[in-house]
Amino acid sequence: MRKAKCKHCRYWKGPIPYEHRYCPPEEMLKGEWGFCKRHAPRPKVDNVEAVRGKTYIALWPETLAEDVCGEFALIPLQKE
């Protein structure tokens, strides 16, 4: 059985292309990132958004492929 990691969860969508990331560039080198789409996007205020001319935006939480949470749901087998 697969381990309960984000990359094996049905709610995780990844990897995120570089141009769609909101985290600082140095974070990009720390592993494979994806969006957790278990819940609705959350409002976020950050310096990155201020640079882009935005104050408030809604984001899916970004997680590492190796992260784990308490709401893991295994990706179902796909029928061909």
Q: What is the pLDDT of residues 17-57, one digit of tens each?
A: 877 777 666 766 678 889 899 988 877 665 555 555 666 66
What pLDDT, on the 0 to 100 scale, is given for residue 72?
87
Range of the domain at 11: 6-64
The pLDDT value given to residue 53: 63
* CA distance linking residue 51 with residue 78, whole number of Å: 41
Inside any domain, residue 30: yes
46 within some domain: yes
Tell me, yes or no, whether 73 lies in a domain: no
Q: Is residue 45 situated within a structural domain?
A: yes
25 within a domain of the structure (yes/no): yes
Number of domains in the chain: 1
Instruction: Report angle CA 66, 70, 74 to the nearest 5 degrees.
Output: 65
pLDDT at 63: 87
Query: Is residue 80 in a domain?
Result: no
The answer to whether residues 56 and 32 touch, using CB atoms and an 8 Å cutoff, is no
pLDDT at 12: 92
**Residue 78 forms part of a structural domain:** no
